[in-house]
Structure 1
């Protein structure tokens, strides 16, 4: 019997962290959403031609990179607020190319607390919602209840993205200058700020994980 939590009857699904990824039924596409800082930093790095290796990213991202590493789907994409519409268009392109319905697992990374447990992160819920809303706008709208709630939450709050990200716990943590910033910079990447990460559809690029590296989705 399928698990009641695997969302297998829906095309677009939403869960949290590695454990959530494992709860979902296998999908054709996994979209990793870790808005502060993994997704936004990787999007900008790939756009500027800087190579991002998964093994290196794991050193400065305990959550987003871990989800990407655990994903076994044929296609693993990195998404957030900055490239939500581009992610949706990439998935639409894949679906049109195959001529079959593409199943999508959107995984909000969340934040890991001191005990290694996932903490709800408002920025990842909004980032996941932005992607799901963009998919819905393209007609890919067979969403699970979990995914639908995230999408409608994003629609209701999209006018306040900068405030919400900056005022969130994660945003305040970034402003305080957390040590992870130094680890990102040591890898040659420019860490994203909360204000930067909140810019809706500012990037038209979608990073994909290919052979342990993040590259531009083609």
Structure 2
């Protein structure tokens, strides 16, 4: 009889869908088949730390607008490889601090995955998903009223209407693949 693999708890490795925040979170859960980098407003100063991600893993970018497209891409990838794929979802967070908008968008991606049947989630992923589901009726307001949203408007980088457009759930039909999976 063999023992099941032992994963360090911070990796959430026994779950198919994992969630963490920031570059440090990526280092904790980045060893997966697919890494989803969630930058809801496209303003994170730090990009994906590719060194923290397995060289065989695909890296996909996600926002509220693309969450369903990203989930469909992951399901299609899973079908193509013929096995369950491990998915690490990382909220980018601005400046390494907490970003409610990125966590909300990450929860939106997790919800879209769950809708497609990819739902063996870590408790951390379940909490992010519940945040999105519970607050889905207020997404537009939460994005515009959030600290990052208010900072973008105050700095003149975005007008309110542009910010509201970023909060449109499922408005984009294509997933943005930053690095394709290895063959």
Calculate the TM-score normalised by the size of structure 2. Answer: 0.87
How many Å separate the matches in 2 of 1:120 and 1:139?
29
- 1:68 to partner: Cα distance: 5.6
Equivalent in the alignment of 1:23? 28
Deviations 1:13-36 (A, max 9, x none): 001111111112610000000111
Report the count of equivalent residues: 172
- 1:3 to partner: Cα distance: 1.8
How many Å separate the matches in 2 of 1:71 and 1:193?
32
Whether the 8 Å CA contact 2:32–2:53 is kept in 1: the answer is no
- Answering whether residue 164 of structure 2 is matched by residue 199 of structure 1, we say no
| SS of residue paired to 2:18 | strand
1:28-107 to 2 correspondence within 5 Å? 28-38=33-43, 61-63=44-46, 65-67=47-49, 70-72=52-54, 73-107=56-90
Structure 1: gaps (5+ residues):
39-60, 113-117, 183-191, 212-218
Deviations 1:148-187 (A, max 9, x none): 0111110111111110010000000000126xx49xxxxx
Tell me: CA distance 1:69–1:175, structure 2 relative to 1, closer, same or farther (3 Å). Answer: farther
Deviations 1:40-78 (A, max 9, x none): xxxxxxxxxxxxxxxxxxxxx412x24467534521000
Calculate the TM-score normalised by the size of structure 1. Answer: 0.73
Tell me: CA distance 1:25–1:69, structure 2 relative to 1, closer, same or farther (3 Å). Answer: closer
Whether the 8 Å CA contact 1:36–1:193 is kept in 2: the answer is no
- 1:9 to partner: Cα distance: 0.4
Whether the 8 Å CA contact 1:34–1:124 is kept in 2: the answer is yes
| SS of residue paired to 1:105 | strand
Alignment RMSD, CA only?
A: 2.1
Whether the 8 Å CA contact 2:140–2:167 is kept in 1: the answer is yes
Whether the 8 Å CA contact 1:8–1:25 is kept in 2: the answer is no
Whether the 8 Å CA contact 2:91–2:102 is kept in 1: the answer is yes
